[in-house]
Amino acid sequence: MKKVNGVEIFEEHTIRKSYNKDAELWLFSVVDIISALEVSEDPRKYWNKLSERLRKEESEVVTKCHRLKMLANDGKMRETDVADTETVLRIIQSVPSKKAEPIKMWLAKVGYERMQEISDPERALNRSREYWKKGGRSEKWIQQRMMGQETRNKLTDYWKGSGVEKGKEHAILTNIIHSEWADVSVKDHKNIKGLKTQNLRDHMSEAELIFTALAELSTRQIAENVEAKGLEENKVPAKKGGKIAKDARLALEEKTGKKVISNENYLPARKSPKKLK
């Protein structure tokens, strides 16, 4: 099965998705859909109970869900239940939620937008810009976010070409780079900002984006210079690239007296984390 993995945003919720090119269907994480319905603080447990009830009712909904590996909060690829749009709509009908109708409309829009973006990729970039603008990002932030994504893409392209497996191994190297420059792991950085399923980079400050890009740019250039192959060889450039950005971060913090790593985010005010002590 040929797949294209990614995420979609519904309000402040991140919903993981995967595109099956053979069947020409989008598959969505069921747990993420339950989270977006805002019916439980533990979406996974809620889905387990709901699926048990549907199975006892001999509903076809559960049998139409499949297990697929998707990127989890801890940066690892883990199996989770996924379903196509039709099945997701049937699941939503089984959940009493005020978010049901908005999500149905959102699903229809996602399908339409993706068809447009396949024929015109520029639409995807414009949609991201609009999402960030609505979330309160400045033009300067948006420009830095897009430049950082280009830097990231060049790095992951190098990894793919050098035998690093997409998914788990990319996540391992990403965490090495991040832990080196920021002195915190990706997971801990998300916790500092009070994030759950949200994309960390979408909630970084301008400075955090810049140092992330510097670390990844340095990593790629070092890896290219030594022609690193595979996961183990690429761990060395990852650490060295992160160290370059770390040294720059420490120099800036010494001059300004301010920490680069921040708990600032773009979540709605009611979900903002407590201030760091």
Q: What does the pLDDT read at residue 233?
A: 97
Please give the DSSP secondary-structure letter assigned to residue 260: S
Q: What is the average pLDDT value for the chain, to the nearest integer?
A: 85
Give the three-state DSSP class for 92: helix
pLDDT of 3 reads: 44
What pLDDT sits at residue 111? Answer: 60
> Each residue of 76-104: pLDDT tens digit?
888 999 988 888 888 888 888 888 888 88
Which pLDDT value is given to residue 124?
58
Res 212 pLDDT > 80: yes
Percent of the chain topping pLDDT 90? 48
The per-residue pLDDT for 174 is 95
Q: d(Cα 225, Cα 235) in Å, to the nearest integer? A: 14
The model's confidence at residue 167, banded by pLDDT at 50, 70 and 90, is: confident
Crossing angle between the packed helical segments 139-161 and 206-226, to the nearest 10 degrees: 20
Question: Domain coordinates of the chain in residue numbers?
Answer: 3-119, 136-271
For tokens 């709901």, the residue is 50
Domain 3-119 has CATH 1.10.3470: no
The rounded distance, in Å, linking the Cα atoms of 49 and 118 is 37
Whole-angstrom Cα distance, residue 9 to residue 147? 21
Listed range (29-38, 110-119, 191-200) with the worst mean pLDDT: 110-119
Give mean pLDDT, residues 53-80: 86
The string of pLDDT tens digits covering residues 216-267 is: 999 999 999 999 999 999 999 999 999 999 999 999 999 999 999 999 998 8
Strand partners, 221: none
Considering Cα of 26, then 29, then 35, then 37, what sign does the dihedral take?
Answer: positive
pTM for the complete prediction?
A: 0.58
